[in-house]
Structure 1
């Protein structure tokens, strides 16, 4: 039972003996060219409006010297939200539910920020370890706490995204597995619950993508 339940997250499963599951990560690219060669539609205008709104929000969180970085975080949001939504479709591998992908997004970003910050703004990075107004006796503990909280940032970003994706998919799978054994009246209740959960998962897909991008933007803003 558990093997079948978690098989939906198994990256080693194959199609025609070809391990093609991770290719689903790039399925979102198929939606982008259409926005550039086709005539504007309501969906393309909506997506353009979302990008502009995200650009304004990320711009307010960044320092003036890092304004150009907003495009990086908009692209990061787009990648994650496409993968989250595609994972809700049947037979599409949810790559954003794996630490292999989420950690691959958060760790290089955090490591780049740390290298840049410590090389270019060393004094600021040292000052950031001790919040203003900290008593002298507590300074060593604050340095330790701030260092630990800084080191675990990529892990918390990766785990938050992967755990939320796994939890929702497992709940949908568990409820869907009991469908054949239910009566017709209970089945209608189950379908209603599944639809509500699917709506909730759609909201979670957007929220988690936004949280990942916003936290990455905040970490970048702290460097300078």
Structure 2
């Protein structure tokens, strides 16, 4: 099974330039996939496309039967789609990816170390039920800690409970953790004239901007955090 992220666009050149500025490289032109070594993102100009997650497998019949008991499922050519409780669209493709998807030990974009997607949900238990059906297993955290992380191979998703994140939150958001190097990462982002959606000082006693959020043209959030 393989997993990628989908971002919609109404201006393919603009979206591609955004990712190239950040240091992402092209994996394929049709479909248009870019990567930072860990995150694989499909930039899709189809006007019916929405931000979401695409999972590849030869058959999803068993999983779809279970999901259909929880939410409406829309049939598509070569698969189906539905949304999870946080509103994120999930595309199930009954095929193999057209190119080989593999990750590098380290992310190589300006954004630093990619650690997966973050989703904010009002019902963690219900959200993880969807992803457990699709094969995800718990990899960290716990609901009583305010978050829980699930993984499918190397693809990680962290579910955040309500009122846990004192900053803007866009579902879904790509998350990067850079530790003490995050200030340098933020300066590199500024040097590229990338628009910063939010400068976060909440976690810093000196009021220093040590975490930032940016957005891609399709609406994805990018959390560039120290941890």
Whether TM-score is above 0.5 comes out as no
Structure number with the higher helix fraction is 1
Structure number with the higher strand fraction is 2
Larger RCO (alpha carbons 8 Å, 6+ apart): 1
TM-score normalized by structure 1?
0.23
TM-score normalized by structure 2?
0.23
